[in-house]
């Protein structure tokens, strides 16, 4: 089955530093990956859509200069939280699918998540 | 995405069947219903999805009403490891991401 790997699984950093989170599709190619954020006791919120070879598409209210997304290959997308602050502390989750849209044949596979704590 | 409504929480005894309902009365004819679950501090896990017919896999069964306005996820023999938040999602056809609602927090009791 499809496997999505995230690294690191948890990270602690000082305020003002940048943190990079990697998302890899291990056994399939993904032209599109998605990044979600989840605060405690809340549901997942879609942050952005990562497109291989092109710019990411950000959801309304998500700062593209703060959350840099790079999708350099068909199996790797990275999310960099720049100049992190305590309010950026959250659970970041990536996902990917083989297909390009939901038509019943596609399943979105999620990574295990990366917990970011900014001190 | 079609709006889905789920009860915020449910309890189930270990070994018994867990029946999780979902209302999606505005679903259109070609929109699938997907079920995912999220165990604490993990990424969501795919369970099952369907369009019209009932579906079954090694994890669960999905019963969709004939009018497709609601569905029920059935975990036939719930275990403590099934304690999680269960999400019912009906994404727009052509949409590429999933939108998560509040889900149902299932607590399996020993």
> pLDDT: is B27 or B74 the higher one?
B74
> Which positions in chain B touch A30 (Cβ < 8 Å)?
none
> Which positions in chain B touch A115 (Cβ < 8 Å)?
41
Token pair belonging to A59? 């959801």
pLDDT at B98: 86
Which residues, in sequence order, are bridge partners of residue B89? B34
> pLDDT: is B53 or A65 the higher one?
A65
Token pair belonging to B61? 């069964």
Whether B81 shows a pLDDT value over 70: the answer reads yes
pLDDT at B23: 95
pLDDT bin (cut points 50, 70, 90) of residue B14 is very high
> Which positions in chain A touch B98 (Cβ < 8 Å)?
34, 46, 95, 108
Output b/e per residue, A57-84; b: 16+ Cβ within 10 A. bbeeebeeeebbbebeebbbbbbebeeb
pLDDT at B54: 93
**How far is A31 from A97, CA to CA, in rounded Å?**
8
- B101 touches A: beta carbon within 8 Å: yes
* Intervals of chain A under pLDDT 50: none
Whether B68 shows a pLDDT value over 80: the answer reads yes
Mutation target to probe the A interface, by most A beta carbons within 10 A, among B27, B44, B87, B92 is B44
Angle at B47 between CA B46 and CA B53, to 5 degrees: 125
pLDDT at B28: 83
**Å from B95 to nearest chain A CA?**
5
pLDDT bin (cut points 50, 70, 90) of residue B97 is confident
pLDDT tens-digit map of B33-52: 999 999 998 999 999 999 99
- B105 touches A: beta carbon within 8 Å: no
Token pair belonging to B95? 């949409």
pLDDT at B29: 80
Q: What is the mean pLDDT of residues B69-81?
A: 97
Compute the mean pLDDT over every residue in chain B, rounded to the nearest whole number: 92
pLDDT at A20: 97
Tokens 């949409």 label which residue? Answer: B95
- B29 touches A: beta carbon within 8 Å: no
pLDDT at A100: 64
> Which positions in chain B touch A103 (Cβ < 8 Å)?
93
- Half-sphere CA count of A27, side-chain side, radius 13 A: 4
pLDDT bin (cut points 50, 70, 90) of residue B90 is confident
Asked if residues B109 and B11 have their Cβ atoms less than 8 Å apart, the reply is yes
Whether B66 shows a pLDDT value over 80: the answer reads yes
Cβ within 8 Å of A, B 35-74: 36, 38, 41-46, 49, 51
pLDDT at B102: 92
B92 vs A32: CB contact, 8 Å cut-off? Answer: no
Q: Where are the strands (E) in B4-102, listed by range? A: 9-13, 18-23, 33-38, 45-50, 55-56, 61-64, 70-75, 84-89
């Amino acid at each position: 089955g499809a496997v999505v790997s995230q690294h690191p699984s948890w990270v602690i950093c000082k305020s003002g530093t940048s943190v990079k989170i990697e998302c890899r599709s291990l056994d399939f190619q993904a032209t599109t990956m998605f990044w979600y954020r989840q605060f405690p006791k809340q549901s997942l919120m879609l942050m952005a859509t990562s497109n291989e070879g092109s710019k990411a598409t950000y959801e309304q209210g998500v700062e593209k200069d703060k959350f840099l997304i790079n999708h350099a290959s068909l199996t790797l997308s990275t999310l960099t939280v720049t100049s992190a602050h305590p309010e950026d502390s959250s659970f970041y989750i990536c996902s990917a699918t083989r297909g390009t849209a939901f038509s019943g044949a596609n399943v979105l596979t999620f990574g295990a998540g990366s917990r970011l704590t900014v001190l | 995405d079609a709006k889905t409504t789920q009860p915020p929480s449910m309890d189930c005894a270990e070994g018994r069947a867990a029946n999780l309902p979902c209302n999606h009365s505005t679903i259109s004819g070609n929109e699938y219903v997907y079920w995912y679950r999220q165990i604490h501090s993990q990424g969501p896990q795919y369970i099952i999805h369907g369009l019209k017919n009932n579906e079954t896999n090694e994890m669960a069964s999905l019963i969709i009403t004939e009018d497709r306005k609601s569905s029920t996820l059935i975990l036939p023999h719930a275990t403590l490891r099934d304690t999680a938040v269960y999400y019912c999602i009906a994404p727009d056809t052509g949409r590429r991401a999933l939108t998560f609602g509040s889900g149902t927090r299932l607590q399996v009791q020993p």
